[in-house]
Structure 1
Amino acid sequence: MKKTRTRLPLLLTVILTLTLLLAACGGNSGNNASNNAGGNSGTTDNSSTATNDSTNATTTDTTNSSNAAADNSSKAQEEVTLKFYFGGDKKAATDEVWSAISDYLKTKGLNVKFDINFIPFGDFKDKMLVMAASGDKWDMNFDGDWLSYKQMAAKGSYMALNDLLPKYAPTLYKKYEDQGTLAAATVDGKIVGLPWTMSMNQRKYAAWRQDLTDKAGITPAPDSIKTIEDLDVFLHKLKEAYPKDKLSRSTPLGIYMQRDEWVDLGFHGMGFYLNDPAVKIQPVEQQPFYKEAALMSKKWYDDGILNRDAMIDKEDGAAQWRNGKMFYTDSDHEWVNADPGFADPSYKLGSSLLYPDKKYVNRTALANVVAINRNSEHADRVLQFLDMLETDQQLYDMVQYGIEGKTYVLKDGAANYPDGMQTTTSNYMEWGGQWALWKPQFMRPNPAYGKDFWVHEAEFAALPVNVNSPVDGLFISEDNIKNEVAKRDQAVEEFNKPIEFGNVKDVEKAVNDYIEKQKNNGLDKIMSEAQKQIDAYLASKK
């Protein structure tokens, strides 16, 4: 504020100085308050009151400036770096985009930089579990019930956000409250994840390169491939037409599950049948369909339909599909209706819905989540960032699409690739793990998803054949069975994987040995503890 200086006679100056000293010694706070409240600015006044104000301002100017600077320093945020982990491959412009995001956030009062890291999806689950067990420090990561979320949450690897979420992300918290989705991410009363807010169903479709089948004269009628037997015949025709090419890395187990209306709980290879009102948990390896699937996998492996390296291939399967390295894949309603992003415009998609009359559960709120590491030192900043993302279209566009003109172009409200770029050559758009940060209120049409795409996804999920799981939101605590589930998980990796991918000599023996192995790993104790929690959860909903 510009100060007004007044020339004073020497005597008056001395008198006023003595008066000020006496006032200071006497602690005349009431008089000072009155003067401060006067707000007499913008005029020059030779009255004693105005002179007193001016002298006060002049005398205390340096002190007030120092105090203000100290106050501002204590209130201003120090710059911190937030370390994030997402799944997939890191795009070329990622660091540049997030640097721009940092600059933008600073103009909004959030003083942060970003260290953005990606883990290939094939390694994501194992690496996250190892990082957590090692006590590594990071701030936020992507996760989901199909990755490491349930195990990470069970091991206490994620920070409880009950107090922090409403304090630092009140808008986001209210949205979760309105939708009622936080219960799904609550473990023993602790909110340990931030779910996405989308509605969809991932029942299986068979998907193939129609340009190749047309070329080979293989022309199935629309939606005529409905069963595993139909698919087996089709895939053998495709292999016969292209005997030297890698065909697929999709195992048939999930299709058998869909056929028998089995629900995978995402709990160490266990689930239940939708037609069982009691929701009795069972191990997948003891189900008749498991052996059927194993026999089909063996057949596909021996006949070259399943790639020989499918069990160990860590490359992103979606990228292989887009780049023409696979001719067949399992798919779902989303990706048979979205643009698949093929590397070559001559590639065409063919598809058929499998077992269309069977019930199938909708995706849970835990399908895609972000979580804060229990060792994060900056959880408040992470939540502030997420709250701003809930209300700021410009920030959302930067996070999802990047830098306009460099990583995307905006035309008629749609975000598209710049000229000469597409899904497989994108320098930022469609980056892996973005899904947990999707905001329906800000989502733009883009090359993959046209206008109202997610409205139609929600309509598909609402069909009578697509149902919500009776235990959606259930989280099974492992506190009393930690040793047993650790042994079970090890056996899943060592024995189940070769069975599922057909890489065993004798299917019958392999399956029977695996069943016995898991029984000896404390299966009864795991099932008893899990069933107790399922029953309690169902009782609480009545």
Structure 2
Amino acid sequence: MLACAMMIASALSACNKTNNEGAASSQSSSSSSGQSSESAAAEPLKDVTLKFYFGGDKPAGADAVWAAISEKYKDILHAKFEVKFIPWGDYSNKLLVMAASGDKWDLNFDAEWLGYSQMIGKNAYLPLNELLPKYAPELNAKYETSGALEAATVNGQVLSLPWTMKQNHRPFIQWRKDLADAQGFGLPHNGIKTMEELDAFLLKAKETNSDKRVFNIGFTGGYPYNIGQFMMLKYGLADLNFHGLVFDINDPAFKIIPFEQTEAFKEAAAWAKKWVDDGIMSKDAMVDKTDVNTLFGNGQVFSQYSTHEHSSQTNNYPDKAIVTEASMLYPDKPFYNRSPLANVVGINKNSPNPERVLMFLNLLETDRELYDMVMYGVEGVNYQVKDEAATLPDGVDKDNPGNKAYLGWASQWAFWKPQFIRPTEVNPAGFWQAESDFANQPNNINNPLGGLFFDPEPIKNELAQRDTVQDEFGKPILAGLKTDIDGYIAKQQAAGLDNIITELQKQVDAFLASKSDK
């Protein structure tokens, strides 16, 4: 079976090169089927069912789409697809439980912002060093060119397959251009570069928009995802995304620093207090659980933290009057690009069919028709193509598409391919090229610690205490509600901070040493 699979993979490799050179997808698919069928005729592959897990709500049209994929590619892949969706609130925990129980499945979506590090810690994913080049040669070649597999390599083993897009989520400020222009204080794109300039702009907005939140504060992870990030950028700090710890981008030793002990934290706290006192930020931000994007889209907010991606999208806000503008703060400061692990797929270590999964992924890298089916559904049923863009078919209600619903399905991000991805209503033509161009700007750089995952086990008690102190004192300080920074620092020190820093620095040093040995 393995020998035959290799023959099929080789045939797929040869016949799909035309797709990369712009050949019509229908011709490519036909060519692939013909050549693969000849090999299969001599020694056919065994039919299998591939079980995939994705996060999010299941689209109504998903079963029909994947059944159509099974039928279309039955002579190439000899596979049916059993695709399951788990709601985001349960997704990571369920995967971890399944991995601990030794369950068998073939592929799942994951990400560094989900449970990826825990899944790696449980040895949930199959090493792919030998299988990837054999059964997915074109995909492997793409990774070799981009270097993305380095972040997915742990102790010499390739444990996941990252997306092949390139992005940078440098902090931006986004505001209501329609209101600012009409009220006489509008600014051009990238017209705000410092916190002082932003402060002056928001004070003007407060004078004429008393019915709205002027700046929309939000919380994610350990800290408010706005003023703290602005200040990290200003002071050249990189967020480790691990319990409020950072490091100096210009420090070759990557010394771990508690954010609360930095000048960036102090200035962020000062701005937060000022903006609460000035009525720019809401005092209720910590208790208001309304999604910040919902508030902005409904017209209840004047400005918010954003990124190049989100400020460049064509947003169809519920409030149709909204027109936005955005600016990149501290443009001269370096900022790390998004990790290749921002969106990945992993092959379960107990997968009965890893070779077939890789054949599918390789075909997805080279076959336009398969890509369109996986991403957008059945043409004419789930989507139509207009000016190269994927949109709902005429006559299908976008607010109530019924069993036609499939476009925009959750967890698709790891499958995004720059050579095939189509424009959409939100991401217009040229959007992804602009994202790549932005990530390639000189001050947007790759993170040398990309692919490092901390083992929290030796310090789990201290980390739990740190989180408790952070929730009670750190978050209110950065929400402008408390001011005792020295007291907060002392409480974190008493909670075992020194042990945390010592252990994590040891892990950073070992990670860097392993990279230098290569």
In structure 2, the partner of 1:466 is 444
CA drift of 1:371 comes to 1.6
CA drift of 1:326 comes to 5.0
Say which SS state the counterpart of residue 166 (structure 2) adopts. Answer: coil
2:156 to 167, 189, 205: 189
Alignment of 1:286-435 (within 5 A): 286-297=261-272, 303=279, 305-306=281-282, 308=284, 313=289, 318=293, 321-322=296-297, 324=299, 326-419=301-394, 427-435=405-413
Amino acid across the alignment from 1:536: A
- Give the 3 Å change call, closer, same or farther, for CA 130–232 of structure 1 in structure 2: farther
2:116 to 130, 149, 154: 149
Say which SS state the counterpart of residue 156 (structure 1) adopts. Answer: coil
Give the whole-Å Cα distance in 2 for the aligned partners of 1:80 and 1:130: 22
How many matched pairs? 464
Say which SS state the counterpart of residue 216 (structure 2) adopts. Answer: coil
- Give the 3 Å change call, closer, same or farther, for CA 92–320 of structure 1 in structure 2: farther
Give the whole-Å Cα distance in 1 for the aligned partners of 2:243 and 2:65: 38
Say which SS state the counterpart of residue 308 (structure 1) adopts. Answer: coil
2:195 to 216, 228, 239: 228
In structure 2, the partner of 1:496 is 470
CA drift of 1:199 comes to 2.2
Say which SS state the counterpart of residue 211 (structure 1) adopts. Answer: helix
The two structures have a TM-score, normalised by structure 1, of 0.74
- Give the 3 Å change call, closer, same or farther, for CA 521–157 of structure 1 in structure 2: farther
- Give the 3 Å change call, closer, same or farther, for CA 533–161 of structure 1 in structure 2: same
2:69–2:374 contact (8 Å) kept in structure 1: yes
CA drift of 1:410 comes to 0.7
* Cα shift readout 1:414-468 (whole Å, capped 9, x = no counterpart): 3233347798777332333322111122122332333333333222222222222
2:286–2:479 contact (8 Å) kept in structure 1: no
- Give the 3 Å change call, closer, same or farther, for CA 459–328 of structure 1 in structure 2: same
2:489 maps to 1:512: yes
CA drift of 1:135 comes to 5.6
2:424 maps to 1:449: no
1:342–1:423 contact (8 Å) kept in structure 2: no
Identity of aligned residues (%): 38
Amino acid across the alignment from 2:418: P
Say which SS state the counterpart of residue 77 (structure 2) adopts. Answer: coil
2:461 to 487, 499, 504: 487
Amino acid across the alignment from 1:228: M
1:341–1:423 contact (8 Å) kept in structure 2: no
2:508 maps to 1:528: no
Amino acid across the alignment from 1:184: A
CA drift of 1:259 comes to 1.0
Which runs of 5 or more structure 1 residues have no equivalent in the other structure? Answer: 1-70
Amino acid across the alignment from 1:186: T
Answer with 231-240 or 256-265: which moved more.
231-240
CA drift of 1:287 comes to 2.2
- Give the 3 Å change call, closer, same or farther, for CA 451–218 of structure 1 in structure 2: same
1:184–1:366 contact (8 Å) kept in structure 2: yes
Give the whole-Å Cα distance in 2 for the aligned partners of 1:424 and 1:255: 36
CA drift of 1:236 comes to 5.1
1:83 to 39, 52, 64: 52
- Give the 3 Å change call, closer, same or farther, for CA 168–279 of structure 1 in structure 2: same
- Give the 3 Å change call, closer, same or farther, for CA 91–515 of structure 1 in structure 2: same
CA drift of 1:520 comes to 4.7
RMSD, aligned α-carbons: 3.6
1:162–1:190 contact (8 Å) kept in structure 2: yes
CA drift of 1:81 comes to 4.8
Give the whole-Å Cα distance in 2 for the aligned partners of 1:425 and 1:299: 45
Give the whole-Å Cα distance in 1 for the aligned partners of 2:57 and 2:201: 32
Which runs of 5 or more structure 2 residues have no equivalent in the other structure? Answer: 1-39, 219-223
Give the whole-Å Cα distance in 2 for the aligned partners of 1:166 and 1:411: 36
2:106–2:357 contact (8 Å) kept in structure 1: yes
Give the whole-Å Cα distance in 2 for the aligned partners of 1:424 and 1:275: 48
Say which SS state the counterpart of residue 108 (structure 1) adopts. Answer: helix
* Cα shift readout 1:367-395 (whole Å, capped 9, x = no counterpart): 22112233444434432321221121111
Rg bigger for which structure? Answer: 1
Amino acid across the alignment from 1:140: L
